[in-house]
Structure 1
């Protein structure tokens, strides 16, 4: 009898994963405690066939103090394609990943453990990635788990000079008036000061995925790797580092230790690019720096000196809003 009860308990523990919707990340057990072993379960969407034929890896960061900010990443984006971050592929096509001890996994001290409130998860490899998924974690107190009632307070810090901010996301179903509607008046936040906007929005779905936007155009949105997951929270405190932009992505010769870009968008100064791994470097060009013509001229450099640039004429590209320009520098000589 005892063995039978144990079997039933085990089946119940995995029921959330069995009945999870495609594209939804489910954690077992529920509620997920910071002090317990945590198993992440993901059922791929039909268009995510790459997960069946390719290795899938975990990129994960913690949330502390319920503020919606990404902290304590387990491994840098370019370094998490290692065996210890690989998802297990199950017979039914789903994927799972287990963190046995959160404290040792993220190397947290006691004070940090007491502040953990959630995790942000992305499934990825070198070619594909999902949007980020939010996992709520409990410290084991009833007060940690307030019941979600559809009313959410949004608070966001934005770049100086921002005139208006709206929330856009999966409000309702696809085809509904507010579904990913940019600059909807009922989703506008109020300005608190030069860099802060806040507002309370009602009838918000618990599984909302959202972004902040500053206008109706597709390029008038924040730049980030994926949508923000609400995860059933009633209050979020977010940061928009920069608004939707053009991203320059360049592949450079092996052994290059730093890359700069100089162009019409930075008055032909030298802006250092970010190392994205695998000889790839990126730089974000804010729309406000493009000028009226929206035509960008630029060159890449391996040092911040005029004689350290690529050969040939300036590169030219027509800015098309929220987009990425992919370039290659075959040789610096």
Structure 2
């Protein structure tokens, strides 16, 4: 009996052990691979996971393990390193209802971050834009309590007055973006739109520069919310400029009044000179008074032809246009017996000496 035991070949023992090790390795590899690929339920609020800036793969693995999203953080990291997938991207991720360790790693590699959007509305001022930006909780606020000069400096722009220089549109962003990021994108977009519209402008316009067209566009934007009227209103103002008539538009007066405006315009306000009071000055105001959209810019550069020199708000969001002062005064009596807080201006030959 002892002889038979002694006859067992050492080679066979080694081979048996090797086979056992291989089998165990194969089983372990299969188990690990199956774990990496198997989806499991995500138990996070709104299924949102955040990787902070500066986070490491090891740190994220520990956090995922703590939140119950992966069972073996070291194996997850080892696999990522083995596959050269260690560079994850910081940000906010919208996870599916079920995710596997591999799908999580893939998400963090591609950087498909959760997107938000914010709309900057036409006809608003830069102050309004910043207020809108600061209301969004996902945007970082860097321009709090800063005046226009400081904002221009923070943005690094080579402009004197920022009004009108930011294109109203809907912008997408991700968590961690700042108010500056959105404004810089809006500024770049405005430059692109204005440049394209300027090179395609109509002939014979009374503008020396694209900036003057931007000023006019801001006035047109404030005058009407009716898209079909914009070119007609632009035509009235262009003809008034060409005839050296005052623009006499209330939105410029309101802008010049600043915080003194309480919702009403009085005769004394129309007679009080400011750089923006187009009832007392000729020509365009020194800067835009709001952020014009593309249609207002296009209207300023492609005004409607005709003889109209006046218009008055009808009270339904549209205007009545007139070619003569008599016709206009009759329309004023009909449509505007008193100025209201929502009154849109109606150019009229105001007698300032009265």
TM-score (norm 2): 0.22
Between structures 1 and 2, the one with greater helix share? 2
TM-score (norm 1): 0.23
* Higher relative contact order, structure no. (Cα contacts within 8 Å, ≥ 6 residues apart): 2
Between structures 1 and 2, the one with greater strand share? 1
